[in-house]
Structure 1
């Protein structure tokens, strides 16, 4: 019987930082009887999220489509066998899992997660971080463009199932159905974190008996890109889709993102203030219920206000600026003309 800490996200709340710290500090975790297994993934436990999804959901999921997992039935059997073996060999008293993709899982996947956890037999602690919805929204759009999205922010937003992601009370109620022994709900706000540190706060939320100074890790870098850089990536995504046969949303731009982070690309893309206010108003009741039921507080869930400085609502790249980015990103010259035509077309809309 092993206890489980299950970190379900949500996405864009420092999950990559948490996962890197857990991966790099296996020895320290083992000293306190914990295992951060490699079977589900070296850092993010993507395969756990895929394992608990029913086959009809799994095979259409982005994580499945970009992976090379073979036959779904064989994947499920192999995953379970390898994970059981890894846990048994470790001798650990507890296991820590982390996959932000689980946050928006459907009812069937949550029920399958409950059955998976019951097999392990110990106590279960759920950990989730919540980020102010309007702040999360614009950060999430950046992420999907980095992963191959081709739509503009407003078009992309119109096609999203917002309640599935941003009705936090509904999401937490769905996960509460597994009846965890502890449910740690934290706000992704620096001033609310233990010691002002995400890592320290996660250790506290997860009940891991280690201090941050006992762990090896590097500070997370701000990965936000300016609106101009995001539009450059979107144009490059369009080129890959229109000229190279790539599927929107099913490829990455890691090398480009690394280079773009090194230069100033201007203010961050967002939506007009009135639109963001309406967006937040839609979740006001849900947020208050989360504050009351999970944190024992009355009033607003989030203390921080909407970000207004260093932002822009203009999603446009001046075609005259394109060559600067083609050089910075070392894009092969034989692609330049086609990319320029796309940049001119997109700037005209």
Structure 2
């Protein structure tokens, strides 16, 4: 595929100007062609986690054919729903990591062979599909690809396809991410109590929550003008953002999906009880997650204003720095909706539930043993 860089000019991407054409549709006055690019534009959505990535990726997978009809390839070679193979490619070797194990990568030789095969598979898929846009999404690129050398590795892989790459980062207030992450932490077999929210690890030194520092790594490798920061507060739906960015028609595309994965406080308290008595280990990771999913829906976990403000204030300087250097951000984009936290807290109930933890764990273990007989 050969196209002018001005072909992307009617999209709200970094460095875009007026004019150009998209999928054969006129987007304004003709523009002067200043550079010819071979290959599709690439939108690399890196999350972060807890920013609606699961909903977005499921939407992309469900609408793969409809996207392809409008010139957008959501590649299968990187993963059917979540492009986790992109993270495995870019990362240094992680022994005993489930994503690496799933792809048969246990040694450095395995890793080199995997990288060669994946890069070739992606290039072949792109040549066969001949898309205008290659859309990639994996939140682990944000949370696990941390060093500049590994980010560079991701860039080098993609440049085999095209040098027109935009990194899309979906930033949101840290306390919102933290509360959302509580459910995932419980599913992974860790205790989530009131102290978990205010622990020292939740601060500017934490890669996941210090968005200014994390975005800066991608800016240094790709260039600041090749990174697009999307504020979750104003644009919570990444699928709607992509439709608007690429000037796609909604015809043939399903409505954005809403995947609510939050556990209520009672489910988290039950998880804590089981974890403290190692029932999660006895059940195994998959069965434990199935058990939590089967619990009745309970009232939403509410940390209250005091904890919310304590956490958010820790990132004031870093958020101000991010907003100052990113022209697409407004001054309030990293402020939570405080009304959500202005309710009676129930986070302390997680601590109170510990008084029955032994009985809950014993009951579940009894049922497990009886069913195994």
TM-score normalized by the length of structure 1: 0.78
| CA displacement, residues 120-169 of structure 1 (integer Å, 9 cap, x when unaligned) | 22311111111110111121121121123246463584556753122222
| CA displacement, residues 170-190 of structure 1 (integer Å, 9 cap, x when unaligned) | 11111112126543211222x
Query: CA 1:245–1:75 in structure 2 vs 1: closer, same or farther (change >3 Å)?
Result: farther
**1:101 and 2:101 correspond:** no
**1:122 and 2:156 correspond:** no
Structure 2: give runs of 5+ residues left out of the alignment.
1-38
Correspondent of 2:185 among 144, 148, 154: 144
Structure 1: give runs of 5+ residues left out of the alignment.
337-349
Larger radius of gyration: 2
Query: CA 1:295–1:42 in structure 2 vs 1: closer, same or farther (change >3 Å)?
Result: same
Query: CA 1:282–1:155 in structure 2 vs 1: closer, same or farther (change >3 Å)?
Result: closer
Aligned equivalents of 2:293 and 2:321: distance in 1? 39
Correspondent of 1:27 among 65, 76, 98: 65
Aligned equivalents of 1:12 and 1:297: distance in 2? 19
**1:133 aligns to what?**
174
**1:265 and 2:298 correspond:** yes
Aligned equivalents of 2:138 and 2:78: distance in 1? 9
Q: How many residues align?
A: 319
Aligned equivalents of 1:219 and 1:298: distance in 2? 27
**2:268 aligns to what?**
230
**2:218 aligns to what?**
175
**1:54 and 2:92 correspond:** yes
Cα offset for 1:254? 4.0
**2:318 aligns to what?**
286
Query: CA 1:335–1:319 in structure 2 vs 1: closer, same or farther (change >3 Å)?
Result: farther
**2:342 aligns to what?**
308
Contact in 2 for aligned 1:268/1:310 (Cα 8 Å): no
Aligned equivalents of 2:342 and 2:358: distance in 1? 25
**1:188 and 2:232 correspond:** yes
Aligned equivalents of 1:244 and 1:14: distance in 2? 31
